Amino acid sequence: MEPLKYEFYVGAKPEDVWQIFVSPEGTKAIFFGCILNSTFEIGAPYEYVGPGNDGENTVHVYGKVLEFEQNRIMSYTEHPGPSYRENHAELETRVTLTLETVGNCTKMTLINDLWPDNHPSYESTKGSWAMILSNIKTYAETGKTLDFGW
């Protein structure tokens, strides 16, 4: 399966965009009410937890931190939460986020790769990342999130 790659230019500093990805306030705003739990040490587990199928503490995705350099790069394995797929432990991909300064803005690149053959979430993830990254751009630039009508 082909890697999913997205590039956005955000009218904000890398450290401001970074905080959206790692702070409870930021992740709750742009990841549909979820909070990111992790120490961010290489090899440490992480999980996005929030409202969902299993109540307020639904694990939506989880994995292990592969690389972490504040304000610049975060890479991790990713599995769908147990309530989404019975074989969630087998469905591992990799996500790599990089931020770099370009003029007075930030180039935000996200690559979601290493998809196992016939991963059942591949098609839906294509659209989900575009929505999440658009939401991050809007939130960083305006302090407001997009209204997807849900």
Give 15-73 pLDDT, tens digit per residue.
999 999 999 999 999 988 899 999 999 999 999 999 887 777 889 999 999 999 999 99
* CATH number for the domain running over 4-142: 3.30.530.20
Question: Is the model more confident about 85 or about 74?
Answer: 74
Q: Which pLDDT score is estimated for 64? A: 98
The residues spanned by each domain of the chain are: 4-142
Query: By CB neighbour count within 10 A (0-12 exposed, 13-18 middle, 19+ buried), where does 30 fall?
Result: buried
Provide the mean pLDDT of the chain.
Answer: 94
DSSP class of residue 3 equals P
* Maximum Cα interatomic distance, the chain, rounded to a whole number of Å: 46
Q: Which pLDDT score is estimated for 39? A: 95
Nearest-5° angle of CA 78, CA 132, CA 103? 105
* pTM across the whole model: 0.92
> In the predicted model, is pLDDT for residue 136 greater than 90?
yes
> In the predicted model, is pLDDT for residue 123 greater than 90?
yes
Q: Which of 5-9, 53-57, 116-120 is most confident?
A: 5-9
Q: What is the dihedral of CA 81, 3, 27, 71, to 10 degrees?
A: 130
